[in-house]
């Protein structure tokens, strides 16, 4: 029963983390398009609060609950290569998360050099990673 509770909290944490990973780059799009100081300050505040207040704690909770699930099921690594591929994607997602954090700081300092078009494409990265992770976990193709 404990395993199912941990799995439920892991899934909720993942949903919260991805909500932030989907929304923060969208804020970057709007921020890159903004021209007045008031809008730029408002977007910087929203980005900082989303990154630190929601995304960071959700990522940490995701990793804690996911690690706990692995601890309770150590044989998972012998169930196929899907878990290794999934964990590789999680590492890439953590890198993407930190890239977002670096961008939050650049925007706050007024040092953004990228266009809104870049951020529209940047916003698609977590979608592709989520798609791959869900397929790996549900289908277990290898």
Residue 117, burial from CB neighbour count under 10 angstroms (0-12, 13-18, 19+) = exposed
7 annotated as a binding-site residue: no
pTM: 0.94
* 126: nearest Cα among 32, 12, 29, 17: 17
Residue 120 sits in which domain range? 1-141
Distance CA 134, CA 114 (A): 31
pLDDT at 9: 98
pLDDT at 93: 98
Number of domains in the chain: 1
Instruction: Let me know: does 48 contact 104? Beta carbons within 8 Å.
Output: yes
10 annotated as a binding-site residue: yes
Instruction: Let me know: does 81 contact 136? Beta carbons within 8 Å.
Output: no
pLDDT at 13: 98
Tell me the mean pLDDT per 10 residues along the chain, length 142.
97 98 98 96 98 98 98 92 97 98 97 96 97 97 93
Q: Which residue has the tokens 């021209």?
A: 35
Chain Cα centroid distance, residue 97: 5
Q: Dihedrals φ, ψ of 115, to 5°? A: -85, 170
């Amino acid at each position: 029963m404990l395993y199912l509770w941990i799995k439920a909290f892991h899934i909720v944490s993942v949903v919260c983390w991805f909500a932030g990973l989907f929304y923060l780059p969208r804020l970057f799009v709007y921020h890159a398009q903004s021209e007045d100081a008031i809008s730029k300050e408002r977007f910087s505040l929203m980005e900082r609060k989303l990154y630190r207040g929601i995304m960071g704690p959700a990522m940490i909770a995701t990793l804690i609950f996911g690690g706990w699930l692995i601890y309770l099921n150590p044989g998972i690594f012998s169930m196929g290569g899907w878990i290794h591929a999934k964990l590789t994607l999680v590492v890439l997602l953590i890198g993407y998360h930190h890239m977002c954090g670096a961008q939050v700081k650049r925007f706050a300092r007024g040092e953004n050099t990228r266009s809104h078009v870049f951020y529209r494409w940047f916003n698609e990265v977590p979608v592709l990673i989520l798609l791959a992770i869900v397929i790996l976990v549900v289908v277990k193709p290898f």
